[in-house]
Amino acid sequence: MKTFFTSFFFSFDVIFFKFKFEFFNMPELPEVETIRIALSNKLLKCKILKVFLKSKKLRFLIPYNIKKVEKSYIKKINRKGKYLIFEINSGSKLLMHLGMTGFFKIQNKYIIEKHDHLIFKFEDFFLTYNDVRRFGFIKYYSDNEYLKSKHIIKLGEDPLLTNFNEKYIIEKIKRKNQNIKNFIMNQENIAGLGNIYCSEILFDSNISPLRNANKIKMKEITKLVISTKKILTKAIKFGGTSLKDFKNPDGKLGYFKNRLKVYDRENQSCYKCKDKGSIKKIYISGRSTFFCNNCQK
């Protein structure tokens, strides 16, 4: 299964960064955080002169009242799990999800591209949202009502925050009669994890993805919390799981793909036990899962 890829393109007349994702892998927390950081570095305190709706057809129709952000500026860009939240100085909010193939591009001069949906014109550049499969969405909220939306209200704790700890996992895991892979991938338990990082985190924790969640011991929960924060932090440092042509805004290469220990390594040797062919691929709830048959119990 292909991983999604993220790439930056630079030219003399266009500063163009582009995050693009393959169909089968929705961007997870590290990729969305990488996007948040890149957008924050460029957009904050910049005035939105005009909003153009090129195509409203996403998972939900882009609301026409999104044009209310015109003549305002972006005060802050937050993230909750896989969601981006643009805070506008007027108090309004834009809630965004990239779906499978959504990406942003910044251009000094707008160059039309197929599947462009929304264009923000700033004084010196354009920000465009492009989405081939149209699974992403952008919603406008006049205030903090987005916190009560069906997208946000049931989300579990963000694993990079201090509230994500052993106590939190213990409370969530009680009476959960499901395997640990499905537990940590459930957005109502932990916000932001997907196929790639669930496999990597469980490998780092030495926990089999097939283990029943409510049978996980206390010391294993501690390790799970530590591994989750460690893997995600490293992935963000390297710009997420991307191909080698990806460049950070400073021009340096950055990718986490070459640091994956189990994901997409079926029948290869384990980096821990060194056993040849011990990395196995199985399907849990229809999703590919990779693990070491020796190290993970």
Residues 137/60, Cβ–Cβ less than 8 Å? yes
Q: d(Cα 15, Cα 106) in Å, to the nearest integer?
A: 6
Judge whether 59 counts as a catalytic residue: no
| Residue 238, both tokens | 């390297």
Judge whether 70 counts as a catalytic residue: no
**96 to 20, 28, 78, 81, 278: CA distances (angstroms):** 15, 14, 10, 11, 39
Judge whether 249 counts as a catalytic residue: no
Phi and psi based region of residue 134 (left: phi greater than 0; alpha: psi -120 to 50; beta: remaining):
left
Q: What values do phi and psi take at 100, rounded to 5?
A: -95, -35
Choice among 134, 211, 230, 287 that is catalytic: 287
Label each residue of 130-174 as H, E or C.
Answer: EECCCCCEEEEECCHHHHHCCCCCCCCECCCCCCCCHHHHHHHHC
Choice among 20, 28, 209, 247 that is catalytic: 28
Choice among 80, 82, 93, 139 that is catalytic: 82
Angle between helices 195-205 and 218-237 (to 10 degrees): 130
**279 to 83, 190, 283: CA distances (angstroms):** 32, 25, 14
Q: d(Cα 297, Cα 35) in Å, to the nearest integer?
A: 35
Q: d(Cα 194, Cα 157) in Å, to the nearest integer?
A: 14
Q: d(Cα 233, Cα 227) in Å, to the nearest integer?
A: 10
Catalytic residues: 27-28, 82, 287
